[in-house]
């Protein structure tokens, strides 16, 4: 009986979550269209290259998909250093650098690949808005663990792969609690806690907290 109740609850939750995803992502894309067009223009004027960055990430069940972001880096950027750091981040909980107070931060800082406009888009997390398209397509949700890139995922063990047992999200419990302030093991623990306790009410709380994180630039890189 408990099993049936759990399955029924999960089915209801997933259906409600999908409805919320479609409604909110559609409204955000349409209502703020003038802002997105302005951002696109600024990107084109600030550096040569496309407006959007199209990258491959790992989604639910380990399935790769193409996701979209506003381009914040030079078009000819090399990600070798980022690959090296991500391996250490996953295997050793390695921080990337230190902030002004000397505290370790688990994000790329002072990245020379980032454009002048890209710096502010990242600080406000506006570069991630095009992922609303991925939400509409069903590859992502508004709330869930962040999708890893392939060269991060290749270092995951069985425990870490539990992060991709659910649909990845644009924001999540990690982003509104400990963003860039804990190592990979801490991020994994938070993501698994979210997966274990997820609910529509919890997702809405995370969504409501996200704009403040965006406006203050907490943890953004």
pLDDT tens digit sequence for 3-19: 777 788 889 999 999 99
Instruction: Tell me the three state secondary structure of residue 216.
Output: helix
84-122 CB burial, b ≥16 within 10 A, e <16:
ebbeebbeebbbbeeeeeeeeebbbeebebbbebbebbb
- Residue 52 phi, psi dihedral angles, 5° rounding: -105, 145
Q: What is the mean pLDDT of residues 74-90?
A: 86
pLDDT value at 157 more than 70: yes
Answer for the pair 74, 49: CB distance below 8 angstroms, yes or no: yes
Alpha carbon distance 11, 21 (integer Å)? 15
Of all residues in the chain, what percent carry a pLDDT higher than 70? 90
Angle at 146 between CA 52 and CA 221, to 5 degrees: 65
Residues 6+ apart with CB under 8 A from 173: 190, 191, 193, 194, 202, 206
Q: Average pLDDT in the 112-136 region?
A: 92
């Amino acid at each position: 009986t408990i099993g049936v109740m759990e399955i029924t609850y999960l089915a209801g939750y997933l259906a409600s979550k999908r409805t919320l995803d479609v409604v909110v992502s559609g409204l955000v894309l349409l209502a703020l269209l003038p802002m997105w067009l302005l951002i696109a223009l600024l990107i084109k004027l600030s550096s040569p290259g496309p407006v959007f960055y199209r990258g491959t990430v790992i989604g639910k069940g380990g399935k790769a998909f193409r996701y979209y972001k506003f381009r914040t880096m030079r078009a000819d950027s090399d990600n070798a250093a980022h690959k090296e750091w991500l391996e250490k981040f996953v295997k050793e909980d390695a921080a990337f650098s230190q902030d002004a107070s000397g505290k370790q931060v688990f994000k790329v800082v002072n990245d020379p690949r980032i454009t002048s406009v890209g710096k502010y888009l990242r600080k406000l997390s506006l570069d991630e808005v095009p992922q609303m398209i991925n939400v509409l397509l069903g590859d992502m949700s508004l709330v869930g663990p962040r999708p890893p890139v392939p060269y991060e995922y290749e270092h995951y063990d069985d425990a870490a792969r539990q992060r991709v047992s659910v649909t990845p999200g644009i924001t999540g419990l990690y982003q509104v609690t400990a963003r860039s302030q804990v190592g990979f093991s801490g991020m994994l623990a938070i993501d698994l806690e979210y997966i274990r306790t997820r609910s529509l009410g919890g997702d809405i709380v995370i969504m409501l907290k996200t704009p403040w994180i965006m406006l203050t630039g907490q943890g953004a890189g």
